[in-house]
Structure 1
Amino acid sequence: MADNKPINWAYPFKAAGEDSKEVSDPQIYFDALAKAKDGFYPMGANGPSPYAATPATTDSEAAPAREALTFYSLYMHLLDWAGYEATGAPEPAEFLAPTSYAVKPTANDPLMGLRVRALSEDVSSEVLALLPKGCKVTVGEAHSVKPQYKKLLSIDDGAAIPAIPSDTVGWVYEAELTGNTVADKATDTEPTLTLSHQGLRVRKEGKGTGSIIGVLPRGAMLKVGEKQRSGYCKVLEVTDYRGVPALPSGSDGKPLGYVFFESLETKKTNPSAFDSVHLLPKPYVIKAGELVGHIGRYQNHNESTAKQRLHLEVFTCEDVPAFIEKSRAVGEKLPDDQRTLIKVDKGSKIVQPVAADAHVEAGVDVRLCSDSPKNGCWVKVQKYTICNADKNSELGTYNSTKLTYTLSVAQKTTLASRMGVDATDMPDQVDFLKVYSNSLEGGDAHDYESGSIPTTHTWRKVGAMAGKPFWVKRSALNAQGRRTSMAGSLDAWTEFPCIAVWKVRPAVTCAYCPLVPGKRYPMSAKPSTLRRCPGGTSPSVTWRATTFPVGRQKKT
């Protein structure tokens, strides 16, 4: 690949002979390897090693428009399926054995639908069965005594639970039908008759109040999307339903509905093929950081036992130098805000954060300073301290728009003592946190919404950014610049953590020779037997002493 031209042994290979054609069936290659007498091949301890080959397209910001490099990565000697079945083995990659879920055996949501009754002329009735949601039926004439009931002629889609004998006449309540379908209006349950069909409700929307559109029986297998904040997840596919009828599907043919994620249990599935080359039915997108596989075992021909090894290749058959030159040409024309890469020369010393020299106590929140960086790993903050204050004597003028109270010098001193900060660090105003009470301790506290506050409750809960600014990790704060958790203490830095520290070097007294500019010797190092200065030509040229000024020495 020195000349960056496509190599002639790149897959797919051509068959031998004058009329050679590219061979696209991977199994042919494995069959050929089985006949080989010697050489280095991707063979594991028990045969061909598992491998994964993935193309990855890299579109650089500095790359010319509509141009990209396609890299291929080949992972060989990965862990085989027997390794994954061993006790304590890691979970395989998603594309190798997709994660599936099953309804837990403890799920006890009852089947819901429309009752089928046996009605007699004396108006007595008996529940024969339940038509689950989704069933479609045909009804006939109305009952002579209870005309709101219609005769069930047939079940066109789905089935009754339990099955109704063919010679039994059943009646259904017409008002609970949606057209000819058992749908949202039908909310009957018969736990005794449908006990074996209990399971997990499927809702139309991903929330606990969503309309129920079906029930997945215990043990039903399915694939789902990510768990949402509501605790529900989207049903993507039902691989083993065993319910009646099937869940309704959308226009894309996929099932509708959401299920409660905690009512599911994971199930390990097996790959669709063993001991052969398996081509995925459709490409699987592997994002950066996602699992490709685990290191397996490989045995060289001159080794007695197999060892853990990974053979990884990353290559491209395109003209890399030409692409780089084109990228540089485009990069010269980019505006400054798109020049997002920086070159760090070999041997450069990287400044690491110093150890934290302060902390924020548990239960104490912070707020961002106005001059805190908008991005980066570090933020500049101040403690946000809270206390109760008497509005009549300890607070000044109230601003109903900004919800703040002004502070006099005396009031700053009072609140600073209560908040545990220095009075000189107190701001000119504090925030009203919309809580009022009747004592310093916050007795009989109420949330303030609007209107007037009873004169018996003169105490206000206030807060302020107080104390000297310091630095914390941005990852410890939420999007609003507040602590994500106040359960424990938070590391803090009084100065920016990654700035180079300058160590002051004290002044020193040195000896120097006027004939050798720039040469200095500590006084203690001057030889007592030295009669002549270095470079001096006459004994009359003697040493001279001087004190050099204070300097700075950078410490990284």
Structure 2
Amino acid sequence: MTIKKIDNFNFPVGEKQLSQDAYYKALSEANSGFYPFGENGIWHGGFHIDEGVLKKVDNDGILRCMAHGEVVAYRVNNIYHKIVYLDNVELKTPYKEQQKVAYFSTGFTLVRHLLQMPKIAGATATPPSITLYSLYMHQLDWYGYQQKGQESGSQVDYPCYWQAQAGKVDEKKAETIAGSVIREKGKDTKIVGLLLKGSKVRLGEQKANMSGWYKIVSITAGTVVTPNGLQNELGNITGYVWHNDIGKTAADRPTGKTAEANKDYEICKEDNKKVGKPEVEVKGIAVYGTANDSQKLTYLPQTATFELDGQENGYAKIRKIDNCTVPAVLVAENGGDEAPHKGYVKLTSLIVTQLKPEKLDKVVVLKTPVPINKGDFIGYIGHNVSQSERFDEPKEAPLSNMKRALDKQLPPMAHIELLTCDDLPAFITKTRALAGKLPESEKSIILVEKEARLVQAAKPAGWLSSGVAIHFTDTTESYYIKIKPVYTVNLPSRFFHTSTEQPLFDPGVGKVVNGINGKIQAKSPSAQPYTLTASEKMYVRRIYPELTEADIPDKVELISGGKGQDTTLPSVYSEPANDEDFFTIRFMIENKPYWIAASKVLHLNGEDGQLNSSVSYWHDFPLSLDDNLSPQEKKRNTVCYPRTVSLISLENDGLIAIEDENTKWVQVTALDEQTLPIHGWVNIKDNAQAHIKRRSPWHWPGFETIEEKASIGELSDKIGKNKVAKLDLADYTPAMRALHQILTGTLIYSTQRKKDLPPPTFTDRDLKEGLRRSWTAELIGHLLVKYESEWYADEALSKWNEIDDLFEEEKQQQKVIIEAGLDKLGITEPYLRDFALDVVDEAHEHVKSNWQLEKAQRIKPSLWWKQVAQAQTQNQTTSTEQSNANTNTNTSKLSNLSTDGKAWFIHPVAMVDYFNVRSAEIIFPLKVKPINNFDMQFGKNFNWTKNNNQTAFSSSRNGGRKHAGRDLYTEPKEDIIAVSDGVVLKINEFYCYTHQITVKHHTNSGREFIIRYGEVDKESIKVKTGDFVKQGTVLAKTGLLLRNVRATDPQSRIIEVDIDGESKKMTPLMVINGKIIYMLHLEYYSGNSGLDLKKSLTDKSKKPYERRDDLTDPIELLKEGYSNSFGADLE
């Protein structure tokens, strides 16, 4: 089995991913459960997601896997555990019928991950790697899943790592069935059936004049495949079988003119996959005798459905088969009605329709870990009702089938952790030593050092009025974008003068015209050239005073004459405000650049259109490093506390401004010397701005490793003492000291607040405040702490028993405080003082008794670490190898959990969008496998990887031309994606009503080349010339080659399609076996003739390809991308 390496981390809740800042702020809304320890001083290696957090991020209650990996263990409660507290024991009716309870889940999922540094160019050594684990604790119980299934209209998801209970054949994964031929009249005649290997048949006479071909009389056991499917009897099939396909030795085969009449001959070969005329392939699912492929029993048709009884080694055990005829070989002896059938099927060949945990209330350690991808369903958030949240519940349920309180009555809560049992400091040291050798594209962390200056946008040059149209000249996803204003103006007809210039089009024909910037415009209104006079320009400037005389061109477009158009709505005709007739002109400002904030034109979705409000503009890029600020302005914008920000998060939040291809600015928030937040921009071009550096995540900037050795009792004791009396900093534990330093940087401790505040006491209030401030939240997230997991303990709970000894000390401390208070109040009466102290004794006894309940009934049932670690050691579930889809380097061994419970804990939010491991330089240009793949429906005759068919590079075309690329066939309109980063050079028409997109690509290692993505669907194109595209960006969808209908075309071939907004009847060029083919035609240019289009890619003089000289077969690039995208090599 292989494990897919980590490429990045997601937050475990919410489909839409937010920034680290947003997640830290959301976590500040939790009631409790902060990293690295709680208000009670108990170690806490993760964070809680409760109702407060869910309101800020997502409220669907679903937990999703944070990164690619494999599930190694899980536990699902049948019904939540319940603690019954003793609060109501002494109470009278009606309260005695109630009891104080707290429901909680011990359900969890443990996922193992592999994090590996990218390979250094030219290096031969395997890059450093580390094994991580993510934990998802307190999940929904099995009863909760059942209740969800009973809700009206509910769609219930089930984790992929549970055991399959039922399934159906996945038609996309169905196998082509192979067998031994039955030929209608013997050798070289029509194949009327395929006999599956192992089938037993009765034979008759040998075919006259055709030695070795025997007539088949009947099937006594087994299956025959026909064009219509699978059957267990011959039916109306008549034909002959070849004697060498029978038996394993000559003694097992028929001889002479007639076969033995009562002998069952066994079929021993399966060397043909075609049947019928025309020949077709029949697909089905293979059934095996054991949980491996060593003994194939038979095939079943695609209609088959299964009830299953567990799984092993990637195979599901069959309990019952439905929706097809079941061959005798799959009938279980003494199986009964509940399990009448037998055999195994590959899980990968099934669509699993029902799953269930392998065991309930038990830790399940998977012998074979189950792969899981980032974002996959882990489970539903469950509950962990704390002692302080306990509530009254009737001792007897109001309904007999009600097993617990309803989910809506219980507060949702999940506990999330990320950890490693490897040597994390050593791993960081290794990666830091190599990080400087990574390419610039890997440097996705911006380090904002002390003394860095945040840049503010310059004062706008002016304002564009609402109603002015704009033309986008820049389609990059940037905070500021370039546009050209387009003005449509109604001029009084008294200005109109005759023009002798020829129109841009024939208005009588009513065709589309090339309007501004060569773009195709609507058919109406019509347009023709018109020359403005000086008086007309002056009139225009009176309407739009922001325009200069130079802005208004001499030649404009005349849109209409006579009754004019509304100035602000040029596409809507309206009567003028007075009786004077108007004519309408349109022009674009070409003499100067315009920059605007992209957020002001979101309503246009990147398409040319009108402003719906006034928008400020700049003629120069709004951000500049020009040092023309006053000393006060410099001081106000100078960073005093360093921080790091993720370039990936900034991209997701739209906080990147692209000045040109080589210059980017990012918006950051930092602290000034008053510890007050400041916002502004920094230039991230290498060495462009002082104190601004780009770092790779493998530098681990700002991260601090801390080995905390205080026991639970010591940690709790010190934090407790710090609440009631000032604990000397020298007595702080390492983790306390680090957290203290961070929290004193929060706004509460700013110089604008009281300077005599006591030090942080690590209360929930302190931790919430820290998470609300992005700079302190980042520092908390960068604490990497080694400690013993709270899910590990010995049988006696020794470490938790340390808390017991603290109760007496705490009680005595409280008595001292109360006695001091009584003295201050002048209360000296012994009975009053004794009463007050007795209350303390009673309260502490109550607390101690509840603590004993918590230990025995909550903490102990929640433990799992020891069981998993022991099982891993016994099962040796160290998975193995890295996926070929993620690396070409040597494999890295995965490690198990530590046997002593010690681990390095990492704040999961610190990893969100932190890594962007792009181990694949090249990916496949489609999100799906082509249907002319070797293992798909057209693989044999149209296999794009082979050189023996029309899809291949260099295959012959009409007129002696040779094919200049590779054709990838698909289902209708599949997404085409960029194989690597690049820039769009050109988009134009291609063959047969399709278009092409030409992209200059580059990779992290410095490879550069040009790809022509041809025969794409015109209407689906999502990019424009000049766009920068990232690897995986959707460029367009696969296209359909069309030609005009001919009189000889059968009606069945003619389809109706939309072309340029008109419905037309056309004939598809590519139809195979009645299936209309969509495709991507891909051409590869090495760049030897230039990495631009100064030399056109198409050159009719260059025979035989009619392409420029650096055209190359793209097969190796496609194979590389295929392996990286699909994790498999091509046959």
Task: Pick the TM interval, shorter chain.
Answer: 0.3 to 0.5
Question: Larger strand proportion, structure 1 or 2?
Answer: 1
Question: Larger helix proportion, structure 1 or 2?
Answer: 2
TM-score (norm 2): 0.22
Bigger radius of gyration, 1 or 2? 1
